[in-house]
A = this chain, B = another copy of it.
Amino acid sequence: MGEKITIRDVAKHAGVSAASVSYVLNGINKVSDETKERILTAVKELNYEPNLTAVSLSKQKSNMIGVMFPLTDGSLSTIFKDNHYYSEMISGIEYVIRKHGYDLVISGASSPADCLKWIRTRNIDGLLFLGAFPHRLYEEMKALSNPIVLVDTYERYERDYHHISVDDEQGGYLATTHLVNLGHKEIAFVAHHLVNSPVDKKRYIGYEKALKEAGITPSKTFVFEVNESSFDNGYNLGNKLLQDHKDIRAVFASSDTLALGIMKALQEKGKKIPQDYSIVGFDDITFSSYASPSLTTIRQDVFNKGVVAATSVIQAIEHRFSTLQHVKLSVELIIRDSTAKRW
């Protein structure tokens, strides 16, 4: 490799000034066609590649987009655990970002302060916040000038930022209505957290609405929270249902992961699904169609969610629009074998 070659090497080789090289490379029309030709061949011959760090410093633009995850304990592991969700979203984000020549920097937010510091010092052009963060962070974020796109945030922040989500309320409504239509009345709702998880809250609202429409009074005794959306927690909750809530005959879980854990527990105790219990999940992870029985669920297109979010942030960076973007993607009820008419 030898030494890194710089724009001045190219300039010398082409017999012009560094500025001219820069103009040509940035497509600024300030150089005659013949010198442009000379410069371009020099670039080729020397195999010149601009140093992006220097470009960042000079242009005050890093061409990097950051993705933040909320960290509860120290690592991303809890977030990714059992969860195709974030991986799929990152895939969508990365796809768009790379196509536009940006790089993707990912970081867990250990503390709001760290997070903001990171954004400032790295000169990150735009930000994607996936999920729900400490409230303090949102307030402090307002001081940032960089475009920020929130994915699945609290309702109260939706109007202050670009915001992408799916129609969680509609999802909750579809799932519950499906169960109601099958004749179920004792329908449990299982979620991560009704207050701290914005998506769960909206799904609950849809659940409640569907019940009311069917003339069923929602009861808090049918609502269950777990501290994290995982198989294990679903499994434990399934056992709890068997012990303490024998009246329940149907479950709408706020994630497929939870639903599958619940299903496992019920089956282990000899319950038949969908004969004894009907179960609906949310997300449509791949495994849901492979479980026994296959899981009825609300499908959301997470890859697309990532694509939309990334596109928004890039547009905001490049000022193609100045108004806030609020996108609510649709969801779809996928009926499989885990739900059936109440006996």
Q: A: which residues have CB within 8 A of B?
A: 1, 4, 49-54, 56-57, 62, 64, 74-77, 79-84, 86-88, 90-92, 94-95, 98, 103-108, 110, 117-118, 120-123, 143-145, 230-231, 235, 260-261, 264, 267, 286-287, 289-292, 303
Q: Which of A53, A83, A121 has the most CB of B within 10 A?
A: A53
Q: Closest residue of chain B to A103, judged by CB?
A: B105
- State whether B57 touches A77 (Cβ < 8 A): no
Nearest first, the 3 closest Cβ-Cβ pairs linking A and B are A80-B87, A77-B91, A76-B91
- A-B contacts besides A57-B57, A106-B106, A264-B290, 20 pairs, CB < 8 Å: A1-B143, A1-B144, A52-B123, A53-B53, A54-B57, A75-B95, A76-B91, A76-B94, A80-B90, A80-B91, A81-B286, A82-B287, A94-B108, A103-B105, A104-B105, A231-B286, A231-B289, A235-B290, A267-B292, A292-B292
- State whether B98 touches A103 (Cβ < 8 A): no
Partner among B75, B81, B121, B291 whose Cβ is within 8 Å of the Cβ of A49: B121
Contacting residues, chain B, for A76 (C-beta < 8 A): 87, 90-91, 94-95
Contacting residues, chain B, for A143 (C-beta < 8 A): 1
Instruction: Please judge, given known A-B contacts A88-B77, A106-B106, A231-B290, whether A52 and B122 are in contact too, CB under 8 Å.
Output: yes
Question: Closest Cβ of chain B: how far from A3's Cβ, in Å?
Answer: 11
- State whether B290 touches A260 (Cβ < 8 A): yes
Contacting residues, chain B, for A264 (C-beta < 8 A): 290, 292
Instruction: Please judge, given known A-B contacts A52-B123, A80-B84, A80-B91, whether A106 and B107 are in contact too, CB under 8 Å.
Output: no
A-B contact pairs, 7 of them (CB 8 A): A53-B53, A76-B90, A76-B95, A80-B88, A80-B91, A86-B87, A103-B122
Contacting residues, chain B, for A91 (C-beta < 8 A): 75-77, 79-80
- State whether B98 touches A110 (Cβ < 8 A): yes
- State whether B56 touches A53 (Cβ < 8 A): yes
Partner among B77, B82, B86, B92 whose Cβ is within 8 Å of the Cβ of A92: B77
Instruction: Please judge, given known A-B contacts A107-B103, A267-B292, A290-B231, whether A75 and B52 are in contact too, CB under 8 Å.
Output: no
Q: Closest residue of chain B to A144, judged by CB?
A: B1
CA distance A103 to B103 in the complex (A): 12
